[in-house]
Amino acid sequence: MDINIQPILQSWPFLLKALMMTILVSALSTLLGFAIGVIVGALRTYGGRFANIVLGFYVDSMRAIPLLVILVWTFFAFPLVIGHSINAVTAGIVGLGLHLGAYVSETIRAGLTSVRRNQMQAALALGMSPFQAIRTIILPQAVIRMLPALGSLCVIAIKDSAIASVIAVPELLRQTQIVAGKTFRPFELYTAAMLCYFILCYPMARGVDRLYRRLAHLGSS
């Protein structure tokens, strides 16, 4: 098999723009997912039984429905609900963020509940409000314990951005498919795309792992 990288060299501005879109979609969906996850996880832990039941339904629903179905519904069906069309990028970010938020919330909840309850009781006895106790005592320990899982979720968010190609988000995989269809060089182009995803994900995974090893002792209680 002959290898020809000329299609990559000729299309690199087009593919670079697609890579930037992948980074943008991944970053914004991760921020949305983490924001949702922190709120939902905290409310399920400290918000009482009613909040736990209602938000638990959201978490279970997002984990039970395939991400592909969520993206397609967000792009094609959700505009009918709100009466306004939304572009593919927005739909991709919202769908990916909602899906990721369910998994982040479970990680947050597990981290918060892993801190011994007597620490919250001691903080309340010292006159702290529940919010102050969570922010200054519980959360700093829990975040360190959650680092490996949260790092894995960040990596998954980058990889899941490729699924947004099904709703025409111009990210790396979709644009690579376009170039491959025009040049008939799928091996070179898809290999290059695979390497791009690896370059994005591998340093993040190793960086979070190294950070956790440095800070792990601070999360013990």
Q: How many domains does the chain have?
A: 1
Q: Identify whether 58 is part of a domain.
A: yes
Domain carrying residue 15: 11-219
User: What is the CATH number for 108?
Assistant: 1.10.3720.10
Decide if pLDDT at 220 tops 70. Answer: no
Q: Give per-residue pLDDT as tens, 23-42.
A: 999 999 999 999 999 999 99
Classify 84 as helix, strand or coil: coil
- Domain assignment present for 5: no
The answer as to whether 206 is a domain residue is yes
In a domain, 6, yes or no: no
Residue 199: partners with Cβ closer than 8 Å, 6 or more residues away: none
Note the pTM of the prediction, 2 decimals: 0.91
DSSP letter assigned to residue 127: T
pLDDT (tens digit per residue) in 11-23: 999 999 999 999 9
Query: What is the sign of the dihedral through the CA atoms of 87, 90, 93 and 97?
Result: negative
How far is 153 from 102, CA to CA, in rounded Å?
A: 11
Look at residue 216 in the predicted model and tell me its pLDDT: 80
Whether 124 shows a pLDDT value over 90: the answer reads no
The answer to whether residue 145 sits within a structural domain is: yes
Q: Are 41 and 100 in contact (CB under 8 A)?
A: no
Residue 4 placed within a domain: no
pLDDT band at 47 (very low <50, low <70, confident <90, very high): confident
Residue 99 located in a structural domain: yes
Give the separation between CA 164 and CA 59, rounded to whole angstroms.
21
Instruction: Name the residue among 58, 49, 46, 65 with its Cα closest to residue 102.
Output: 58
